[in-house]
Amino acid sequence: MEEENTSEPIKVVFVGTESVGKTSILNRIENNTFHENLPPTVGGNSVHISEYFNGANVNLNIWDTAGQERYRSMLSMYYHGSAIACIIFSLTCKESFDDIKKWHEEISNNSIPPKILVIGNKIDLNDQRQVNYDYAKAYAKEIRAEYIEVSAKTGENMSELKDILLNVASKVKPKKKVTIEINDEPETKSCC
CATH number of the structural domain spanning residue 111: 3.40.50.300
Indicate whether 45 belongs to any domain: yes
Indicate whether 191 belongs to any domain: no
Termini Cα distance of the chain: 59
- Residues 176 and 8: their CA atoms lie apart, in Å, by 11
As beta bridge partners, residue 89 has: 120
Residues 6+ apart with CB under 8 A from 127: none
Report the percentage of the chain scoring pLDDT > 70: 74
Indicate whether 188 belongs to any domain: no
Top mean pLDDT of 25-29, 79-83, 86-90, 104-108 is at 86-90
pLDDT score of 5: 46
125-168 pLDDT per residue, tens: 999 999 999 999 999 999 999 999 999 999 999 999 999 999 99
Average per-residue pLDDT for the chain: 82
Indicate whether 186 belongs to any domain: no
- Among 115, 22, 110, 96, residue whose Cα is nearest residue 65: 22
Domain range for 52 is 4-170
Query: Rounded to two decimals, what is the model's pTM?
Result: 0.80
27-51 pLDDT per residue, tens: 899 888 777 776 555 556 778 889 9
pLDDT score of 124: 97
As beta bridge partners, residue 9 has: none
> Side-chain half-sphere of 121: how many Cα atoms within 13 Å?
26
Strand stretches in the chain, DSSP E: 4-5, 10-15, 44-53, 56-65, 84-90, 115-121, 146-149
Indicate whether 87 belongs to any domain: yes
Element (H, E) at 110: helix 100-110
Q: Residue 19: pLDDT above 50? A: yes
Indicate whether 179 belongs to any domain: no
* Residue type (1 letter), 144: R
Name the band, by pLDDT with cuts 50, 70 and 90, for residue 189: low
- Residues 97 and 38: their CA atoms lie apart, in Å, by 21
Indicate whether 99 belongs to any domain: yes
Indicate whether 56 belongs to any domain: yes
Residues 6+ apart with CB under 8 A from 87: 15, 16, 100, 103, 104, 107, 116, 117, 118, 119, 145
How many structural domains comprise the chain?
1
Q: Residue 14: pLDDT above 50? A: yes
